[in-house]
Structure 1
Amino acid sequence: MNTTIDKIAWIHLEHGRILSTRSHGRDVYYIPGGKREPGETDLDTLAREIREELAVAIIPATATHLGTFHAHAHGHRDGVVVQMTCYTVDHHGTPTPSSEIDEVVWLTYADRPRVSPVDQLIFDRLHHTGALR
């Protein structure tokens, strides 16, 4: 039986690098964001997750849908897929580790092997468009 994990992610690029995070006890990096709670819209989820993980406030009116990506969910059994709906959005504040986040880093395409499978697809798209160096 296939299971889909519905996640919303913040694509934040600066100078050809992408903001990424590593949670406590994890061995790979993940683009910031998280799972939708019942009744939440994409932007509700994004605002809550980014506030919890990085202690910044997004500006929902500036959100642009970048794409939706599907891949095997890292660390889960076969048949578990993550659907990652990605947005770019402006924000207030400086991203700093909060909640379960242990580390905040800026990655380039060379770091692709260090991220989850769905993030690798996102890295490929961003690199292809020239946004990620």
Structure 2
Amino acid sequence: MLDVVAWVHAVDGRMLAVRARGRDLLYLPGGKREPGEDDLTAVSREVREELGVELTPASVRPLGVVEAPAHDQPDGVRVRMACFAGVHTGLLAPSGEVDEVVLVGPDERELLAPAGRLALDLAERHHLLGGPATTL
């Protein structure tokens, strides 16, 4: 089981997703915790590394946890993804292992890795979404 954190962020009713170098599907910004990190520290660090923005700690709130087959991993490997929303400061720009930032609407779920599709459902349940995909 891969245990990760992710940032669920909506812009104009669409969910922000990223394309990591060499990946065919889109993922949410986030990743694995480093030793000793709590969820807030991990999601903040990952967002900073991947998108060059800072999350405002007081604004970060849990949306839920999703579990799905892990994309690009051996059969049977699953991912548990704790999803968080929160306000950011700075301009979003791909950095590190991220090549592209895309806004995905509910009707474009096939662009996302399996856990991202479930995170999209979370975003919909929290009334964050609606609209076509756009590259930032």
Question: What is the TM-score when the length of structure 1 is the normalising length?
Answer: 0.93
Measured in 2, the distance between the counterparts of 1:125 and 1:88 equals: 11
Q: Which structure 2 segments of 5+ residues have no match?
A: 131-136
Alignment coverage as a number of residue pairs:
130
- 2:73 aligned partner, one-letter code: H
- The offset of 1:124, in angstroms, is 2.4
The secondary structure found in structure 1 opposite 2:50 is helix
- How far does residue 63 in structure 1 lie from its aligned partner after superposition? 0.8
Task: Give the CA deviation at 1:52.
Answer: 0.5
Q: Residues of 1 paired with 2:54 and 2:48: CA distance? A: 6
Q: Which residue of 1 aligns with 2:98?
A: 101
Query: What is the root-mean-square deviation of aligned Cα atoms in Å?
Result: 1.1
Matched, 1:80 2:77: yes
- In 2, the alpha carbon distance for the partners of 1:20 and 1:35 equals 17
Instruction: State the SS of the aligned residue for 1:98.
Output: coil
Contact 2:64 2:122 in 1 (8 A): no
1:126 counterpart = 2:132: no
Kindly indicate whether the alpha-carbon contact (under 8 Å) linking 2:16 and 2:101 is maintained by their aligned counterparts in 1: yes
What is the distance in 1 between the residues matched to 2:119 and 2:53? 22
2:14 is aligned with 1:17: yes
- The answer to whether the 8 A contact 2:15-2:123 is kept is no
The one-letter code sitting in structure 2 at the alignment partner of 1:111 is E
Q: TM-score, normalised by structure 2?
A: 0.91
Q: Which of 51, 66, 89 matches 1:69?
A: 66
2:32 aligned with 1:41, yes or no? no
- 1:92 equivalent in alignment to 2:89: yes
Identity %: 44
Query: Hey, which bits of structure 1, 4+ residues long, moved more than 6 A?
Result: none
